[in-house]
Structure 1
Amino acid sequence: MSLAVGKQIKKFRQEQKLSQQELADYLNISRQTISKWELGKSLPDLENVILLAEYFNVSVDVLIGYKKSGFLKTLFEGRKEKELIKMAKDTEQNRTALYSPYAQEIDTLFAQGKRVNAFLKLGEHIYPEVTFSRVMGNANCLCSFEDGKIVIDQIGVFKVLVNIPVEKQIAAFTLTDVKQINLSFGKYYRHIGGDFVTLIDVVTDNQIYLLWVNSLKVAHAIWHYPQFSSTSIQVTKDFEQALSIEDEESAVEAIRTQEKLIPLFYGKQQ
């Protein structure tokens, strides 16, 4: 089994003309670790299996060269079944954070109901102000709200570990086409410049656009944006009071103090 995984990793790496060091940099691990995988001397853990499958755009079954059910038990032999099931469930939840950073076409992701890493523009203000990640990538989607119009653009396409700027309109509609906007929050434990994200669902008659934005300020901005005065904005009652605070910094701090009510979005609980 270990040889099959290593051979597949080496195959897909070479097909994309990546060095072991480039792949190691993407996963934030050492080159020696990649070498051990490819030589069959060790196995990638579950998180890295998912990252590699997403990166190479193949299923996990294909990546590990195994198609029978129960492959997780075989791949991670020796782990207790309960622990393995929990890891699989946690990883499935966390995968939602990984769909857009290294995607080539985000319109396909929206069509599949995936949550896309985005910048959000309200008038002249763009959120987040700064974003970066070696694992989760920079946002390559821009959702703009201005003058009663909403425009969603793809602003980057991933090519060999680099996001190349592009200009591609994904959708355009008026604010009156929006049935409601849902706001919720997620926390993460990964090196992406912060510890909370805002999850935004823009619901129209024809499509639901699922976004995640590396900012809590954006939730406060949406809640107080004058053009949304007639738009249904939904948030759990636990956070209504925090968002209603006029001062942005105080509102963000009020959200942070309720960390126990915010579910894990990505990473491992600390």
Structure 2
Amino acid sequence: MNTPTFELQTESLIETIREFQVSNPGVQTSALVYGVAYPELYRELRQWLGQDVSSQRLSLIFDASSEDHCNQYGPYVVRISATTAQPSSLLTRLAQCCVDDYRAVSFLFSQLAFDDIVAGLRERLDVICDDRSEWQMKFFDTRSLSVLDRALSSEQHEQYFGLAKEWWHIDRYGALNKIRCTDTAVDQYRGPLQLNEAQTAAFVEACLPDSILHVLQLTDDDLVAAFDARTRYRICEESIANAPDDERNSAVLLADRVRSDLLNALDPEEKACR
């Protein structure tokens, strides 16, 4: 993403958040950050906000720090105070992270107290599938939010997203998605989240494009690098969607299919060099 586009998207996100804050004065703004995308950010925020966690502005969902404690790979929540003047430096920093890596940051707008938001998110980690296998729901990776939004039943959706009035994230194509939730002052959700076979399959299907692209980055890195992230994902997603059943059950066949479609999408001059 070039600098002017990045700056425009960041400014647009900040302005949209501030407009929502003004229109909803009783709602608290929090950012949910996935540490894997920005391992050094947690330490930066601790220094910025102060070491005293009693300030209730920064809290880990769970700890996944490096051995030297310099990097934090786990998810955490940051409370963002609404300001009446210019956007806060904290909001600006987190909005930049959100635009720069769509996986990394989502924004929750909730009536709940900060501690209740943190506790509610921890409650939503555990998942049990029909076959009794247990998962951890990585809702802090925004790629999971889109699947949750469309895969849950109406009742599950109301319960699972019930800790917020709205939950925002940027998708991999740069669009701001707003999940509208139940506007309640009490979070009544109790885990674990139970997924049926079809819902489990929806998450498995959603992982396929990223998994195949990872394989191709190991075997055909120059081909994958010929496309920007959004373009190569779109090609991969469409290729998998059009694959027959016998290919969909084989990672090798899917990788071959996507490789072929990527080659076909190259400019003629680049294609001639391969």
- Considering the TM-score relative to the shorter chain, is it more than 0.5? no
TM score, norm. by length of structure 1: 0.28
Normalized per residue, which structure has more helix? 2
**Structure in which a larger fraction of residues adopt strand:** 1
TM-score by length of 2: 0.28
